[in-house]
Amino acid sequence: MSCADLLPLNCKPMGYLEFCVDPTVTVRDAMRQLDKTAKKILFVVKDKKLSGTLTDGDVRRYLLSGGKMDDIADRAANHSPKTASSREQAQELLNSNRYIALPVVSAHGELVDVIFKDGISVHEYPHLDLPVVIMAGGKGTRLDPYTRVLPKALIPVGELPIIEHIMEQFMRYSCDDFHIVVNHRKQLIKAYFAENERRYRTHWYDEEKPLGTGGGLYMLRGKIKETFFLTNCDILVQTDYDDILRFHRENGNVITMVCAYKNMTVPYGVVETGENGIIKSMKEKPEFSFLTNTGMYIVEPAVLDDIEDGVPIGFPDIVEKQKQKGHPVAVYPVSEHDWLDMGQITELERMRERIEKHGDY
């Protein structure tokens, strides 16, 4: 069923058709459509009538409650959305409230229009004011030969190096206290910021030997005494940082790991067999979804007390140790579209194209 089929017969196709979705599509496909739209909202329409709305927040809450990517999108939708009965009423509500968009429905509940808050920012960045720790000590071997000349943190993506893109993203949330762990070509990184026109508030921690993605954190013990963001220096995560923090605190986590859903299609028919080669099932080009670690976390300062001085360790191993101690650790899921990883050359080019195309993250 096309979006045009979802509209009343007397309604001409309009630009909002791309925001319509059938309730029977999968959550996975709905996420893909959300990623393609600039408004981050879909309208679930059944028999020409508005059934509900679907945002990335709705999808996230559904998945966190145990929902699956192969479930129908209607299960994740908000079935009590705010609506208007006319364009004028919709515009009034948009002007007086912080809605992203308002669907206009007829007296019979048919979707006849959608009014967006175009030209007005609907997202005000809250004042989080938390420390940010950036792990920038790695050699960046996956980006060879670029990293033979520059440290990974200074690889340019558009007009700025990746580490500065990361810092600018956090500063939108008033997180401007940066603690940077360095090792490989650390003098180049420090020199860049010493001569930078933007006077970032930076604190430097020098590793004497490679300590992995978590070992160098022992140097921050006693220096950071509040909840902090932790990120690798080669990734960007585009999502609501305030919502991550709220999730972290509401669940009492000591560590919240930000993970992205990755979708992969096996380009062959997959056969499952039983005893004596009996075919149990066959699937043509099956698609699988799984969560992958983005390299961004929210961490409680008590975690630093459990990190040994000068001992190499990856941060995922630190997460595992906290889990084994019975401390609450959890995952905050985001769309794969919200995660940019420049750790490989192909992904670096994708990040550049994205920033050049949109002029933002």
Last residue of a domain, one of 59, 88, 116: 116
Same domain, 86 and 200: no
CA distance 144 to 152: 10
Residue 62 lies in a domain: yes
- In what helix (H) or strand (E) does residue 116 lie, and over which residues does it extend? strand 111-116
Domain that holds residue 315: 132-358
Give the pLDDT of residue 118: 58
Q: What is the CATH number of the domain that holds 60?
A: 3.10.580.10
Same domain, 166 and 103: no
Same domain, 152 and 63: no
Give the pLDDT of residue 141: 76
Total number of domains in the chain? 2
Range 202-226 average pLDDT: 96
Range 42-49 average pLDDT: 88
Q: What is the DSSP letter of 26?
A: B
Min mean pLDDT across 22-36, 62-76, 289-303, 337-351 is at: 337-351
Give the pLDDT of residue 272: 87
Same domain, 177 and 79: no
DSSP labels, 308-357? PTT----HHHHHHHHHHTT--EEEEEEEGGGEEE-SSHHHHHHHHHHHHH
Q: Is the four-CA dihedral 103, 105, 110, 115 of positive or negative sign?
A: negative
DSSP labels, 78-90? BSS---BSSHHHH
For the whole model, what pTM was predicted?
A: 0.77
* Predicted confidence band of residue 47 (pLDDT cuts 50, 70, 90): confident
Min mean pLDDT across 58-62, 123-127, 268-272, 285-289 is at: 123-127
Residue 254 lies in a domain: yes
Length in residues, the chain: 361
Last residue of a domain, one of 116, 149, 164: 116
Residue 279 lies in a domain: yes
Residue 259 lies in a domain: yes
CA distance 255 to 274: 42
As a whole number of Å, the CA-based R_g of the chain is 23
Give the pLDDT of residue 353: 73
pLDDT at residue 14 above 60? no
Residue 124 lies in a domain: no
- pLDDT tens string 67-84: 999 999 999 999 998 888
Secondary structure (3-state) at 124: coil
| Helix %, strand %, coil % of the chain (to 5) | 35, 30, 35
Same domain, 64 and 197: no
Same domain, 73 and 157: no
Structural contact between residues 336 and 265, judged by C-beta atoms closer than 8 angstroms: no
pLDDT at residue 291 above 50? yes
Give which of 241, 230, 207, 224 is closest to 309, Cα–Cα. 207
CA distance 209 to 188: 17
Structural contact between residues 152 and 140, judged by C-beta atoms closer than 8 angstroms: yes
Q: What mean pLDDT, rounded, does the chain reach?
A: 85
Range 48-61 average pLDDT: 90
Last residue of a domain, one of 88, 116, 144: 116
Same domain, 207 and 262: yes
Secondary structure (3-state) at 144: coil
Same domain, 70 and 217: no
CA distance 28 to 49: 23
CA distance 175 to 341: 21
pLDDT at residue 230 above 80? yes
Same domain, 259 and 233: yes
